[in-house]
Every structure is written in structure tokens, then in C-alpha cells.
A and B are shown apart, each in its own frame.
Chain A
């Protein structure tokens, strides 16, 4: 496990080195310039990738840091998306307000699901969450809620316009809206994961008995992690719905949940930057696969997956970490 190889955490270590700060600033600047260099269609794709990055960070907290495997996070993505769509469509709530509401709804839903899930470990939890993911599309079609969800027809929502003083396209505006959420949520996630709670999460993953002996409230931390993880995924779902302008049960099949798991594993488990790498993978690789072969796009996708896993067994983030370490050693000589 990664945690065993890490150097023991020093107390009060600097949050970020100067170099890392510069790197992040550069990355942020690049992200701001990017939408002006490419077409609206590409901006839309990058926006979707950012949305996935939020969802992946959420799932990574749960699976990567806390060791709880979820094969049903697509369900929380769906709840977030539907919350936003119903609020916009039925109640006329402005789009930017629906996102925090969707997050709150998913926080509660995730926490409640996390309570019974406490009794389940490893593969059993994976199966329980899988059940949630499989059931969700059919629950959304349920007659009793059809007047809200629109049944199989789903809900079409209007694309938000940029404020009048800004002369940019709707797609670029949405990109920046999503980027803002990414920055805020990643900063919060980073603070959470490197602090006391983050250490408790990792401790529960690696040594649950020892963690409990150390005074960690295992049950509370696990349920809360489930809640926060669902909240992140739900916020991503809400943003995704606004970007796609449409929700329907068929948008949130079990395949979405599996895709999210693929994203965190490819990106790098227990890594914040891994969420971004994973998001880029799940957004763009299927398109590349489709371009290579119409007859068997998923076979090509499978080949990509295997190659990534063989070349980078710790995910892209792990690969980057190792590469940077080698580079530093080499340049330090």
C-alpha cells in the first residue's frame, strides 16, 4: 500500500512547495486560456472532462482514501442531475443555485446509504452499491415520481446564458462555471484529505483495528466519507445535466458507475491529481477508440485499459510521481 512507502508525515509540513505553487498557478492560467484556443465543441468536451474530474475526486475519497469500493456512484450522479433538472424545469430555480442544492441532497443520500453500508466490507459493499447503480434508472421511471422526473422521456433544460456584460459563448461561460466549481471543490478536498480527517480515512483503510484503538470514530468517519463522496459526485451530476441540457434514465445506466471506477483506477487511487487524469481518459479515450474501429470500439477501449494498467500500475498520477522523483534525483546529481 502506498501509505506504507510514504515517509512518515512531519508535523506542520509546508502546505505546498514554492515550485508546486508555481505549477498550480501555471496550470490554472492554462485552464483559463484553453477555451479561447479551441472551438465550442472542444470547449464542451473539456467542460465534460472537468465535470467528471469532480465526480472522480468524490469517488476517490471513498474508494482510494477510505477503501470502500463503490460500483454505484452513477446513482448519486443521477440524483444530482435530476435534482438540478427538476429544480430548473419545475420550479424555475436559477441554474447556479441548483448545484449546491444537488450537493446537499446527495450528501444526505450518501450519508444515509453509508450507514447500513457500514456492515459491509470489500466485495460485499461493492455488490450493495452495484445494486443501487443498477436500480437507479428503473427507479427514475417509476410511475409515482413521473410527474417530476418525466419518466422515460426525461427532462430537457435550457442552456444558461452568460451574464450580459460578458461577450463569450454559452459553452465558454459554462466551462468557467464548471472550472470555478472544480477549483473550489479541489481546494476543499485537498484540505480535507491532508488533514486529520484524511489521515483517519487512510488509517481506516489500512489498519481498521488500529485506527479504532487510536480513538478514530470508524463508523462516523466511514459514513461521513460516503456522504461527502456522494456530495462531490452529485455536484458533478448537476453540472453535467446543465452542460448536456438533458436528463433521462438512460443517461445513468450502470455503465456510468463502472466508467467512474475506471476513471479513478486509471487516474491513480488515493491521489487528487489522479481525478483529472482519469477524467481526461474517460472523456476522450472512447472517442479515440470509436475512430480507430467502428466494428469493435470497446475492444480497442479494452486494449487501452490494459496498456495503461501494465505501463502505469499505480495510475497516471503514480507514474507522474515516479517520473518526477527520477527527474529530481537526476537533476540533483
Chain B
């Protein structure tokens, strides 16, 4: 990261005011509570697809409840226990609206946390902003969750799809400025978001580096013909914006057809177990991808202290969960971030302050993030995760290389 004197000053000022606040707090001892908060409890809510087409993600909600149970067993946050009310929305937007209204109007939660899915969150975004309920750390990668001007109460969690695309573009501009790029993307909001990021990252001058684009529908049986078309364009670099099934097909076809470009596969389709093994590990050697947190299936983190801590948590508090499923690690990171926000709130647990603290996360280095990465937000920048690191597949694991890359300045 480049040195930024303003940021340092801000940090210093923040640090001083924080220190002052800690000194002043016991003297004032004035506890301020919004809905859902009291001397003993902080009530937050979420909707999760425990049933329906996306129920595989339901484990995120269960892991988060387990994490808060661990925090509560350790004494809670400033003596207050976290009570996460997690309701099933079946990945159906109307159901999500109903359940969120229940959380806000009947259960009166202080904030919403990790509501999952782009359609469900789209359905509730206007409502929660009208009600001024903090809508925090959404479990979706869409770029629209960082729009503080129009939706000041919504702040997402994931590295946005657009940011990921922009990072690939910046990497190519720097390391392969004469690349002739071919792009394959899934024809929906996710694919288009990544594509938009790539194009914006390349800029007007770099736009002519793209020599071919192809799309596929989720319902397509294969992407073989798209790969052959892209190969025919004479491209030497391939940005592969696909979900697991299609990523595996693309990797195999790009290798078998003799194309063998510099192949960048997006993070969604970069799982060793569900993509690279079916594609053939030998065919995946040399692939690039971007990640921002440690992969529990990657042998290099086997004895990492943070990974051991996470495994201990899984063994003790969430024994039903699959320790091979990355969603459980993701949930742990999200829950840690939420705890940080609540800690920052101190004894002022109003909705306004929760939102203010969520928009003032400073250099939060969670140990399960890749080394050198930190989470940051400001009142005008709601992109929580802005960094990632490239990895190259060496036949058995993703080998991280280069420095931590970021989207912005």
C-alpha cells in the first residue's frame, strides 16, 4: 500500500479520540441504548437460506451462531451477550421481506447481520434504509452494497465482484501490457459485475486489449464452443468468469485444445476440490486467481495459528459443520468483524452509532485474512474488503505471489 499522510493523521486522531473515550467512559458511565440493546443483551438478526435452492449456504448462519455462543461463553461484549436471531428465508425475496419485517418490527433487533443473497437483500434494502436499521456485512458480492449516498444504512462484506475484476485488470496492465485478452463470463449480474470491473480497471486505453468476449447461460450444458471461439480470436490471455461447473469445463477445454493461454480464473471458480480436481490437476498448473482469506484446504496454512484457532472453534462449538467447507471460515471472519463493530460501539448501542462504527473500521487485521491485508471503511467508502493477493496453482495448491493488491488509490 502506498504511504498516505492523511490516512496516518486520521489514524492518529482516531487513536487519540479512542484513548480519550476509554478514559472518559467510566466517568460518564452513560449507557445509550437503541432497540434490541440493553445492559445484558445485544439482539441482532439475519435471514439465511436454511431451505430452498441455496441451502448449502445455510451453514454460514449456523457457524455464526456458534461463534457468538463462543463469545458469550467468554463473557460477551462489554458484559453483554449477543443474541443472533437467524430466520429461514428459503432464498425467496418475498419471504426475506416478511422475515426482516419480523426482525425489525417484532423482535426489534439492533441491526441486521449477514443477510444472505443478492435477490433477498435487494428486496429489503429500501425498507431497512427507510427504517434506519443498520444492514451490515451482507453475504453477497454484488457491488451495489457500497452506495452510502443513496443507501447509508447498507454495508456489504465480500470483496465485490467488480473489485476483483479491477484487480485482475491492474495486474495485467502492469505485468503483461501487450496482452490480448479473451473473456468468458456468466450472463447474469455476477458475471457482468466482474466484467465491468475488468473494463474499468483497464480504462479507456486498455480497453482495446480485449479482443474477444463470450457468454454462457447457467442452463448451458457446456462452454466448449465458447472456448474454441475465444481461442480462434488469437488471444493469449484468458479471463475466466465462471461458476464451479463451468470453470472446470473451461480449464479442461483450454488445455486440451492446445490453447494454453495465461489463464485467470475468478475466485468463485477457483476451489481446488470442486473445480481443479474435476478439471484435472495437471491441466490447472499455472492458473491464476485472487483470494483474500486463507484457504483451510491449503497445506501451507496447516499449522497457521489462526487456522488452528478456527479448527479448535469448529471442533468445540460447531461439530456438525464441515471443516472442509470454506463457508464456515467465511462465516467466522464475518462474525469477527461484527464483534469488532460492536466493541467499537462501547456503551452507545444505538442504531446510529452502530452504523457510524461500521463505517469507521480502521485497519482491522483479522488473522484469517491473508498476511498484509486489512479491512477498512470510511463514511464515504463502504467497500470493506478492497484487497486481495494473486495465487498461482502449482499442481497441488495455490501459491501466493507478489504483493497485496488493492482496488483504489
Contacts and interface: CB of A to CB of B under 8 A. Distances in A.
B301 interface: no
B94 A251 contact: yes
A102 B237 CA distance: 49
A48 interface: yes
Contacts of B87: 290
Contact of A244 (B51, B93, B102): B93
Interface stretch (A55-63, A148-156, A222-230): A148-156
Q: How large is the interface on A (under 10, 10 to 19, 20 to 34, 35 or more residues)?
A: 20 to 34
A152 B127 contact: no
Interface in B262-302: none
A43 to B, nearest CB: 10
Contact of B119 (A41, A44, A154, A294): A154
A152 B88 CA distance: 21
A158 B53 CA distance: 28
B85 to A, nearest CB: 11
Given A138-B219, A294-B88, A244 B106 contact: no
Interface string B34-64: 0000000000000000111100000000000
Contacts of B52: 255
Contacts of B88: 290, 294, 297
Main SS of chain A's interface residues?
Answer: helix
B122 A156 contact: yes
Contacts of B105: 39-41
Nearest to A249: B119
In this complex, the member of A143, A246, A251, A290 whose beta carbon has the largest number of chain B beta carbons within 10 angstroms is: A246
Contacts of A138: 219
A294 B97 CA distance: 19
A245 interface: yes
A240 to B, nearest CB: 7
Contact of B122 (A44, A143, A246, A253): A246
A153 B122 contact: yes
A298 B51 contact: yes
In this complex, the member of A39, A48, A143, A156 whose beta carbon has the largest number of chain B beta carbons within 10 angstroms is: A156
A44 B98 contact: yes
B91 interface: yes
A307 to B, nearest CB: 20
Nearest to B90: A255
Interface string B67-100: 0000000000000000000111011111001100
A250 B189 CA distance: 14
A78 to B, nearest CB: 11
B187 interface: yes
Nearest to A155: B122
Nearest to B106: A41
Contacts of A255: 52, 90, 92
B51 A245 contact: no
Contacts of A45: 98
B86 A246 contact: no
Contacts of B127: 245
Q: How large is the interface on B (under 10, 10 to 19, 20 to 34, 35 or more residues)?
A: 20 to 34
Nearest to B58: A294
A248 interface: yes
A141 interface: yes
Contacts of A141: 188
A71 to B, nearest CB: 18
B1 to A, nearest CB: 33
A45 B94 CA distance: 11
Contact of A251 (B93, B125, B189): B93
A40 B52 CA distance: 27
Contacts of A41: 101-102, 104-106
B404 interface: no
B370 interface: no
Interface string A16-58: 0000000000000000000000011100110010000000000
A41 B109 CA distance: 14
B126 interface: yes
Contacts of A44: 98, 101
A261 to B, nearest CB: 17
Contacts of A156: 122-123, 125-126
Given A153-B189, A156-B125, A297-B50, A250 B91 contact: yes
Given A41-B101, A290-B88, A250 B188 contact: no
Nearest to B117: A250
B186 to A, nearest CB: 11
B123 A151 contact: no
A227 B97 CA distance: 30
A152 B188 contact: yes
Interface in B181-201: 187-189
Contacts of A153: 118-119, 122, 189
5 contacts: A154-B119, A154-B123, A244-B123, A255-B92, A294-B50
Given A39-B106, A248-B122, 17 more contacts: A41-B105, A45-B98, A48-B94, A143-B187, A151-B188, A152-B119, A152-B188, A153-B119, A156-B123, A244-B94, A245-B97, A245-B126, A246-B126, A250-B92, A251-B119, A290-B50, A294-B50
Q: Give me the 6 closest cross-chain CB pairs, A-B, nearest first.
A: A41-B105, A246-B123, A250-B119, A251-B93, A248-B119, A244-B94
Interface of A: 39-41, 44-45, 48, 138, 141, 143, 151-154, 156, 158, 240, 244-246, 248, 250-251, 253, 255, 290, 294, 297-298
